[in-house]
């Protein structure tokens, strides 16, 4: 049975011109869970309570453009550097200097960006189902993008 420290709390963080929705549970060192595409915080629902019960303070935000967080017009508003800055600011907004970052899929790309450009806020880094940016860049130069392969497979005969 969950105690009061592992119950989900919802909130919003005002980050610059963004409003990020998040859920939070637990007390202790901060763990930030970054969702993939096209998910939102709910993709981490099965991991939040066990991490909180293990003594961590867990924050799972809806990143910019997803679910209940702010949605901006234009592709430039979703640059990975801006998304990383949102999360760096969220860590500070939640009262922490550093966090254990866990990123899945697109959240993994955001986590890589934070770790490479703002290592001072990263205590530990876990990446699930996302390539290191250098390897991703190399792979995209030598192989067609997955979307191109899907289009080729789905084209009429």
Asked, for residue 33, whether it belongs to a domain, the answer is: yes
Q: At 39, phi and psi to the nearest 5?
A: -85, -170
> What burial class does residue 4 get, using C-beta atoms within 10 Å of its C-beta: 0-12 exposed, 13-18 middle, 19+ buried?
exposed
CA atoms within 13 A on the CB side of 134: 1
What mean pLDDT do residues 23-38 have?
A: 97
What pLDDT does 10 receive?
98
Asked, for residue 146, whether it belongs to a domain, the answer is: no
Asked, for residue 59, whether it belongs to a domain, the answer is: yes
Per the model's pLDDT, the better-predicted residue between 99 and 148 turns out to be: 99
Query: Residue 3 pLDDT more than 70?
Result: no
Q: Using one digit for the tens of pLDDT, what is the confidence trace for 95-130?
A: 999 999 999 999 999 999 999 999 999 999 999 998
Asked, for residue 93, whether it belongs to a domain, the answer is: yes
How many separate domains does the chain show? 1
| Distance separating alpha carbons of residues 47 and 100, to the nearest angstrom | 14
What pLDDT does 14 receive?
97
Q: Report yes or no: 88 and 118 within 8 Å, Cβ to Cβ.
A: yes
What mean pLDDT do residues 42-50 have?
A: 97
What pLDDT does 135 receive?
73
In angstroms, the Cα distances linking 128 to 34, 75, 102, 131, 136 are 10, 25, 8, 9, 14
What pLDDT does 1 receive?
42
Asked, for residue 37, whether it belongs to a domain, the answer is: yes
Asked, for residue 156, whether it belongs to a domain, the answer is: no
| Distance separating alpha carbons of residues 14 and 119, to the nearest angstrom | 23
**Residue ranges of E strands in 17-129:** 18-25, 30-34, 57-61, 99-104, 122-128
What pLDDT does 110 receive?
96
Asked, for residue 120, whether it belongs to a domain, the answer is: yes
What is the domain-level CATH number for residue 100? Answer: 3.40.50.1820
Domain of residue 29, residue span: 9-131
What mean pLDDT do residues 31-50 have?
A: 97
What pLDDT does 5 receive?
54
Measure the CA dihedral 109/114/117/122, to 10°. Answer: -140
What mean pLDDT do residues 135-149 have?
A: 68
Q: Using one digit for the tens of pLDDT, what is the confidence trace for 9-30?
A: 999 999 999 999 999 999 999 9
Asked, for residue 72, whether it belongs to a domain, the answer is: yes
Give the tokens for residue 11: 């909130």
What pLDDT does 149 receive?
58
Beta bridge partners of 127: 103
């Amino acid at each position: 049975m969950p105690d009061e420290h592992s119950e989900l709390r919802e909130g919003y963080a005002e980050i610059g011109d963004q409003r990020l929705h998040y859920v939070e549970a637990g007390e202790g060192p901060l763990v930030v869970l970054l969702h993939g595409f096209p998910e939102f915080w709910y993709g981490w629902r099965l991991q939040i309570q066990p991490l909180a019960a293990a003594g961590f303070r867990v924050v799972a935000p809806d990143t910019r453009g997803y679910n209940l967080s702010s949605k901006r017009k234009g592709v430039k508003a979703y640059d990975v550097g801006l998304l990383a800055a949102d999360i760096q600011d969220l860590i500070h907004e939640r009262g922490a200097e550093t966090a254990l970052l866990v990123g899945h899929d697109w959240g993994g790309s955001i986590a890589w960006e934070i770790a490479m450009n703002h290592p001072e806020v990263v205590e530990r880094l876990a990446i699930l189902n996302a390539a290191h940016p250098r390897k991703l860049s190399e792979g995209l130069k030598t192989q067609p993008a997955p979307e191109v392969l899907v289009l080729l497979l789905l084209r009429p005969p």
